[in-house]
């Protein structure tokens, strides 16, 4: 006799951010989950979002949404500086949390989020969706199989054209900057290579350029890391680039492999492998990385399935981000009052 299908998640959304349609609404619809409620600072925006995306109801404040007993899981796509405060509030309210990255403004705040997650006993996950897609899994398989030999170097580049001048990603008060918005993907991807590098990477140097008119906010940042096993890595990010680039390259003693767009593999699902035997291109599928992510989150909530991303992982990433800012002569991002 087959097991009954798991109940759909009952999800509440904090804010009406643009990323939500791609990152949550479409995956939730395809996965049969319920979008129970949305709240925004401007209720009319919440009402328009709900009407456009089939959300069941709206709330007049984030706190009101967290008090809704029918909401069991919260998606937090707010500005970077509001991730930490509202993650803390959601966990304190006993909700499961899927938060956009990074989980907090700095490592100290990330540790508080971790403590709140441990106290609440609910599921907490940072939305590094790329990790669940077959493109990234294939890069790891190539290292694990030995086809590429021992890992010697890894390179990540995540860059986009500049957002508008009033975009919150340029606000130091809201924990903005290229590293927070983009470079965190590259750093996280380098961290995930630890099993084939003798352990976690450490920052050895970093360089950054500040955004004109936004003191302390990095328009670009390059970081160099070293692994215990002798391999090295570079993570570059740029938030005023001439185009879109989101590549990850791993180089071993026997060959190398590149994912031209590891962050959004639904746009380019190639993994290009080069060894002494020649070059080949593998296609891993254009299903959305966000769909894989929500499936993994739901499986953890409903069936207690294992999950590679948790509050400990989020703290480790924030430590690396803070170290990059310090090495580049900038300050870690300040906390933001909710």
Tell whether 103 is covered by a domain.
Answer: yes
48-56, long-range: CB < 8 A, 24+ apart: 48/16, 49/13, 49/16, 49/20, 53/20, 53/21, 53/25, 54/25, 54/29, 55/13
Asked if residue 333 belongs to a domain, the reply is: no
Domains identified in the chain, total number = 2
In 3D space, the residue among 29, 50, 54, 25 whose CA is nearest the CA of residue 39 turns out to be 50
Quick one: 103 and 38 in the same domain? yes
18 and 85 co-located in one domain: yes
Same-domain status, 78 and 183:
no
For residues 121 and 206, state if they share a domain. Answer: no
pLDDT score, position 3: 61
- On whether both 166 and 196 belong to a single domain, the answer is yes
Domain presence at residue 208: yes
Helix, strand, coil abundance in the chain, percent, nearest 5: 35, 25, 35
pLDDT of residue 182: 98
How confident is the model over 205-254, as pLDDT tens digits? 999 999 999 999 999 999 999 999 999 999 999 999 999 999 999 999 99
Would residue 334 count as lying in a domain?
no
**184: CATH:** 3.30.360.10
Q: Is residue 73 part of a domain?
A: yes
Q: Tell me what pLDDT residue 2 has.
A: 56
In the chain, % of residues over pLDDT 90: 96
Q: How confident is the model at residue 18 (pLDDT cuts 50, 70, 90)?
A: confident
Any domain includes 338? no
The pair of structure tokens assigned to 259 is: 């994912």
Say what the pLDDT of residue 6 is: 80
Q: Looking at residue 73, which CATH number applies to its domain?
A: 3.40.50.720
Q: Per the domain annotation, does 180 fall within a domain?
A: yes
Asked whether residue 26 falls in the same domain as residue 49, the answer is yes
- Average pLDDT of the chain is 96
Same-domain pairing of 92 and 174:
no
Q: 86 and 165: one domain?
A: no
| Claim to verify: residue 157 and residue 272 sit in the same structural domain | yes
Prior bond to 102 cis, omega within 30?
Answer: yes
Q: Which domain range does residue 196 map to?
A: 134-286
In a domain, 34, yes or no: yes
Instruction: Check whether 1 has a pLDDT greater than 60.
Output: no
Question: Are 28 and 152 contained in the same domain?
Answer: no
120 and 139 co-located in one domain = no
pTM above 0.85, yes or no: yes
Query: Do both 302 and 269 map to the same domain?
Result: no
Backbone torsion region of residue 271, taken as left when φ is above 0, otherwise alpha when ψ lies between -120 and 50, otherwise beta: beta
């Amino acid at each position: 006799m087959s097991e009954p299908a798991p109940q759909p998640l009952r999800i509440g959304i904090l804010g009406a951010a643009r990323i939500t349609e791609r990152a949550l609404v479409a995956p939730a619809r395809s996965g049969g989950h319920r979008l129970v409620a949305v709240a925004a600072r401007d209720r009319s925006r919440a009402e328009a979002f709900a009407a456009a995306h089939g959300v069941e109801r709206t709330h007049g404040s984030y706190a009101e949404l967290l008090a809704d007993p029918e909401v069991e899981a919260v998606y937090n796509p707010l500005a970077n500086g509001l991730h930490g405060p509202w993650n803390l509030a959601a966990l304190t309210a006993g909700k499961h949390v899927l938060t956009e990255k990074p989980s907090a403004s700095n490592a100290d705040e990330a540790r508080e989020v971790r403590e709140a997650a441990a106290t609440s006993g609910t599921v907490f996950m940072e939305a590094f969706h790329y990790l669940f897609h077959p493109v990234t899994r294939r890069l790891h398989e190539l290292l694990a199989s030995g086809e590429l030999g021992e890992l010697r170097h890894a390179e990540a580049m995540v860059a986009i054209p500049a957002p508008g001048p009033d975009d919150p990603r340029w606000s130091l008060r809201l924990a903005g900057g290229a590293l927070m918005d983009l470079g965190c993907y590259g750093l996280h991807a380098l961290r995930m290579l630890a099993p084939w590098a003798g352990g976690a990477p450490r920052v050895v140097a970093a360089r950054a350029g500040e955004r004109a008119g936004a003191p302390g906010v990095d328009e670009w940042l390059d970081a160099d890391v070293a692994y215990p096993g002798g391999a090295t890595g570079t993570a570059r990010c740029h938030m005023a680039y001439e185009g879109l680039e989101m590549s990850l390259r791993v180089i071993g003693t026997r060959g190398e492999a590149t994912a031209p767009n590891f962050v959004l593999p639904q746009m380019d699902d190639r993994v290009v492998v080069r060894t002494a035997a020649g070059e080949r291109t593998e296609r891993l599928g254009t299903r959305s990385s966000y769909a894989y992510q929500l499936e993994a989150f739901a499986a953890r909530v409903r069936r207690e399935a294992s999950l590679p991303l948790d509050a400990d992982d989020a703290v480790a990433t924030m430590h690396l981000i803070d170290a990059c800012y310090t090495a580049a002569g900038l300050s870690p991002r300040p906390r933001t009052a909710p």
